[in-house]
Amino acid sequence: MGRTVSAVAAPQRKMERGLAGGFFKDYIRSSRKTWKFTVHYSTQIKPISYLKANAAGVLQELQEQRKPLVITQNGEAKAVIQDVATYEETQETLALLKILALGNQQIAQGKVRPVAEVVQRLRARKVTD
């Protein structure tokens, strides 16, 4: 006999199937190794009606658990919400990654100087100031 799925669970299951190719499997690749890590958002998926009915509780959970919450509408992911502290940390991390990417790009373009040359220029500049 087949299983019955409640109307509330059906959008959640559709959401989980939709996320399987995106959120659940992420990879980090370096020149030597590939690491696989799994992020389980299945417990952090709620319909927009739940957010509307429990906004204060959701905000409290976000602050305590520091895990993002995927909000669905008609069974499809529409938004991700997270606490402010986690958001700020994410933005700082992205800024650092951008700096690293810029540095790698400059290295690839040959825009580098030996440390001794840079130190010598800085010392010469300090003497003239």
pLDDT tens string 71-116: 999 999 999 999 999 999 999 999 999 999 999 999 999 999 999 9
pLDDT-derived band at 42 (thresholds 50, 70, 90) equals: low
pLDDT at 92: 96
Band of pLDDT at residue 35, cut at 50, 70 and 90: low
List the end-to-end C-alpha distance of the chain, in Å, as a whole number. Answer: 86
Dihedral sign for Cα 87, 90, 95, 98, please: negative
Using left for φ > 0, alpha for ψ between -120 and 50, and beta otherwise, residue 66 falls in left
pTM over 0.75: no
The residue written with tokens 């499997």 in the block is: 25
| pLDDT at residue 11 is higher than 70 | no
pLDDT digits (tens, 9 = 90+) for 68-79: 999 999 999 999
